[in-house]
Every structure is written in C-alpha cells, then in structure tokens.
C-alpha cells in the first residue's frame, strides 16, 4: 500500500517534469522521493539498509540516463 502511494507521487513528479523540464527541480524531487521510499521500505521490509542504498543508487543512475 505504501509503495502504491509512492508510485502515485512519482507519476505526478514525472508529469511535472514533462510539463516544465526543470532539470534541477526534477533531480531534487527525485532524490527526495528516493529518500522517502528508503525510509518506508526500511521500516516495512527485512532488508539491510546497505542493500537498499545500492538499489536506490542504481535507480538514480538508470533514471538519470533515461531523462537527461
């Protein structure tokens, strides 16, 4: 349920990005979203924080290569 809510916010951020193309704003919102997701997932899933950090770093680089 929490992941679904986060994906809804992510879709709204992508819509804003497509409308305005503020690259710095998108990067800051993306980092903020990833931090929020990391906090939510670390509380609800039995993963170590190191594994989550590696996953999110990979997600940042994959999204940056797609959008920039």
Helix (H, G, I), strand (E, B) or coil at 35: helix
* Mean pLDDT for back-to-back runs of 10 residues, the chain (68 residues): 70 70 64 74 64 70 59
Q: Are 6 and 37 in contact (CB under 8 A)?
A: yes
Question: pTM value?
Answer: 0.33
- The per-residue pLDDT for 25 is 60
């Amino acid at each position: 349920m929490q992941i679904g809510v986060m994906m809804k916010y992510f879709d709204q951020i992508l819509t804003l990005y497509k409308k305005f193309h503020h690259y710095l704003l998108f990067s800051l919102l993306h980092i903020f979203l990833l931090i929020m997701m990391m906090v939510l997932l670390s509380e609800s899933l039995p993963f170590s924080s190191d594994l989550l950090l590696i996953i999110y770093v990979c997600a940042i680089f994959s999204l940056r290569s797609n959008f920039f």
